[in-house]
Each structure stands twice: as C-alpha cells, then as structure tokens.
Chain A
C-alpha cells in the first residue's frame, strides 16, 4: 500500500468508513495468515484463531491508528505478533522444541561449518521438521519489526527497495535494521541451541 493510500485508509478508519476497513482487510488478511502460519506451523485452526483475534483487536483499535507511529503493515504485524505470543503463553510446553534441540545437539560437527557458511546445509536437514521448529522458535523471540523484516527479506525474497516502501523507511535504514535483525536472530538461535557446558556453542 503506498503512502497516500495508507493515509486515506487511516483517515477512513478514524471515520468508521466501511471502504477503508475493506481496503485494509483485503490488503493484509492473507498476508497476516501467511506470516502467522510461518510462525506457528501447519495447524490451520490455530492460524485461523490467531488471525481472527488479530482482526478483533484491529477492529477495536482501528480508530486509534496513528500513521506517525509507523506503517499500517508494521502496526498490524505488531498486533499479530502479540497474539502469537499470547497463544504460546497459553500453551503447555510442547515436546516438539525439546526434541528439536536434542536433534540439533546430536548432529555431528558439520553443523558448525553450516553456521560458519563454510559448507551448504544438506537438503535433508533443511527439510527436517526439527530445523523448522528451531527456526520458528528463534523467530518468535524477536521483536515484531525484526520478524517481519526477516520474513519478507528471506522468505518472500523482497528487495530492500520494496521493503523500504512498505515500512516507510529509507533503504539505508532498512539495511541497518536488517543487520540488527540478523544479529538478533543469531543470538536467539544460539540461545535455544546452547550446547551442554563444556562443549562448543553454536554461534551465528
């Protein structure tokens, strides 16, 4: 959504305009679904619940959306991220993460070469459910703006110029934020995969 359209939508939302709501919904509902499912996985019931809860909150706070505080895109994702976090807070700890950590710990030393980008990650590892669990968990622990930047850059493969347009930032600012986001992801991934004491830690 370009800046002018976004301003029009923000103005319409403040006035309770049906068209503004529809434009917001149509521009972002699928986007929300897609990104929520990237964080929670393949259970469409869970994804649908989170998307629904997000729009409930958006509906209630649409009048208060202030374009000066960031773009619609970022605002929506901030709300969705909070809903994802709420969902996980309500869940009992699952065995999935602990199994994934054990799986990672059991991998041989080649993983250090993957992390150091000295060797490519093998396809069977990239396709494993355990790796997806670990990456999702690391992503979930990042601030919303970092999550969104990383997903758009590395999963949607959007160029920095498009991302800058979406979040209303300069390309230099996006690059700077992306570097921070990469570092934060590295730390989050390192934290969940911390090896038992005495052995080498996984550092990104």
Chain B
C-alpha cells in the first residue's frame, strides 16, 4: 500500500462515511432510561446471587422491554413465555449441550483459506495479583501467501512479521528500534505454520481426551465449549509446560471457532494465558497485504518478539 493510496482513501472516506449519519435513528431517551433501570436491577440481582445468575444464563432473559412494533412486541412476549417455561423445565440443568457437529467444524475450516484473528498473551509470576498487560497481535493468514502479524504492547506497535510462503522467507520488523531481520523459512518452520492452522488445531483437539463444557454466550453469540489438558494439541513439538488447559468455543450457528483460550505455567513460575479470538473467516487478502514495508532508515538487526 502506498502512502498516496492511503491519502486518497482518507480523503474519500471523509466524504463517504458521513452518509451513514444522514438517516440514523436519534437516541430515544425514554427507552434508554427504562433500559437503564431494568438492566441495573438485573445486574444487581445476578451479581448478588450466583445461583440465580446461572439459571438466567441458561434461559432467555425475562426483562426485555416490549418494543413498539407489533412484530417485535409479539416476539418479545413469546420470548418471555418461553423463558418462563424453560426456567420451570430446566431449573439447574443444562440446555442443549450438543448442538455442534464437530466434524462439520473441521470440514468448514478446511474450506477456509484466508482468515484473521487476534491473539493476546498475558503473563504473571503471581496469579493472585492477576495478569500484567501483555502483547496483542493481529494475525492475517492466507494459504496462498502465508502469514503476517502486527503486535502491540501497552498500546504501542511492537513488531510486524511476515512469513511468506511463495518466497519462503521470514521478515521481522521492530519499529521502535528501527530494525528488521530477514531469513529463509525452513521446511520445519513452514510445517509449524501449517500445524497452527485452525482446522489442524481443532482436529488435534477432538483427537485428544476432550471434555464437553456445554453452551454459553460469548459477546452475545451462543457457543459450545470443549476443554483439553494435553499440551500436544497446541503443537506436537511444544516444549514442556505445566497445568495446561485449553478451551475451544465454537459458534453454534455458524459452526466456526469463536475463541481458543490457553492457560499454562512455564518453568513452574510464569503463569501464562493466551487468548485467540475475533476470528474473521474468508476475508479478502491479496498479495499487497503481504508486502513488507521496511522504511529506508531501518537497519538489519536481530529480531526478537519477546
């Protein structure tokens, strides 16, 4: 991407994007006040009573505001009735714990050749005190071109990496230090890249001794979760780690992964949490996305993303 292209896009978007504001619905104060009241009560109730919360989580919420339109009003009323029936029928039990066809998840993933996701890595030596700010990485992958990543630490760009399959080359850039590194990708590194493809990870997940955790909502999406304690699902050649647990969540509707969370301990003292989420499947990526931009004043140095 050239600077001029981006300047053009900037100018174009300045005139194009405000069109979404033109006929946007103005905030309805009465509705928002009512929603504040209801949501505050529900928040307090669910915080005060974990048992009650677990029941609410497995049913439809009963406090939805009946909306103005007839269709929505009918739907909302129906939801309330269904919610009540579910509370009566399923008090303390799990609802619908096996609606994902896991084989279908793998099949769908094998048909996806371009995707992106976010990876967060957090570490601490004292889990009681919580995790410290870590590294957030946006990963873009294409079967055809390879992988490029952009990492942020404490809100600053930390590194950019490119693993380019056609050229069989790895390029790492550290903007803060103005250095870059370039070396050939070995067969082992390419294999490792392939091992980490979501379809491969899910396949190893289901080949391991996994435990179904049932369904829950993540950011409003109904998911089913499975849990595994064998670190080999991550990478068959992974170095020894302890207390490993991995949880995979799959969207019940799309049958595609929504998140993968890993927790483990390194050397008995570094408690590590890794989260892979914000998956975008079948996105548009082309050769221009995999063109490393190394400014002229950067010098060759040793790349480290640690």
In the complex, B199 has a CB within 8 A of chain A: no
* A173 and B24 form a contact (CB under 8 A): no
**Interface stretch among A91-99, A102-110, A150-158?**
A150-158
Chain A interface residue number, banded: 35 or more
Q: How far is the CB of A47 from chain B (nearest CB, A)?
A: 5
Which residues of chain B come closer than 8 Å to A25, judged between CB atoms?
A: 36, 39-40
Chain B residues within 8 Å of chain A by Cβ, number: 69
Q: Given contacts A41-B23, A79-B219, is CB(A182)–CB(B10) below 8 Å?
A: yes
Given contacts A53-B220, A135-B19, is CB(A143)–CB(B68) below 8 Å?
no
Most A CB contacts (10 A, CB to CB) among B13, B36, B53 go to B13
In the complex, chain A residues whose CB is within 8 Å of the CB of B122: 68
| Smallest Cβ-Cβ distance to A127: which chain B residue | B22
Taking the closest CB of chain A, its distance from the CB of B102, in whole angstroms, is 21
Asked if A200 is an interface residue, CB under 8 A from chain B, the answer is no
A61 vs B6: C-alpha distance when bound (angstroms) = 38
A136 interface residue per 8 A CB criterion: yes
Total inter-chain residue pairs, C-beta < 8 Å: 195
Smallest CB separation, A15 vs chain B (Å) = 8
CB of B225, distance to nearest CB on chain A (Å):
14
Residues of chain B within 8 A of A151, CB atoms compared = 17, 20
Cβ contact within 8 Å between A132 and B20: yes
CA distance in complex: A188, B16 (Å): 14
In the complex, which residue of chain B has the Cβ closest to the Cβ of A76?
B219
B69 within 8 A of A: yes
Also in contact, A135 and B219, with CB within 8 A (given A68-B122, A117-B11) = no
Q: CB < 8 Å: which of B15, B48, B65, B219 contacts A16?
A: B48
List residues of chain A with CB within 8 A of the CB of B47: 15-16, 63
Select the residue from A21, A86, A126 with max chain B CB neighbours within 10 A.
A21
Q: Are B13 and A150 in contact (CB under 8 A)?
A: yes
Contact A44 B25 (CB under 8 A): yes
**A 173-191 binary contact with B (CB < 8 Å = 1; else 0):** 1001001101101111001
Give the secondary structure class of B's interface.
mixed
A68-B131, A169-B152 known; A60 and B20 CB under 8 Å? no
B25 lies within 8 A of A47 (CB):
yes
Bound complex: CA of A58 vs CA of B120, how far in Å?
A: 21
Q: Is the CB of A204 within 8 A of B12?
A: yes
- CB proximity of A146 to chain B, nearest CB, Å: 10
Complex formed: what's the CA distance from A29 to B30 in Å? 12
Residue of A nearest to B152 (CB): A173
Q: Determine if A83 and B220 form an interchain contact, defined as CB atoms under 8 angstroms apart.
A: yes
B150–A176 touching, CB < 8 Å: yes
Q: How far is the CA of A79 from the CA of B218 in the complex (A)?
A: 8
Q: Judging by beta carbons under 8 Å apart, are B43 and A21 in contact? A: yes
Interface set of B (CB-CB < 8 Å, partner A): 1, 6, 8-28, 31-32, 35-36, 39-40, 42-44, 46-48, 53, 56-57, 61, 64-65, 67-69, 72, 116, 120, 122, 131-134, 136, 150, 152, 155-157, 175, 217-221, 253, 275, 278, 280, 284
Can you list 11 contacts pairing A with B, beta carbon distance less than 8 Å? Answer: A34-B27, A59-B42, A59-B46, A60-B53, A60-B56, A68-B122, A82-B221, A126-B16, A131-B19, A132-B19, A173-B152
Top 3 A-B residue pairs of the complex, sorted by shortest distance between their CB atoms: A16-B47, A154-B17, A169-B155
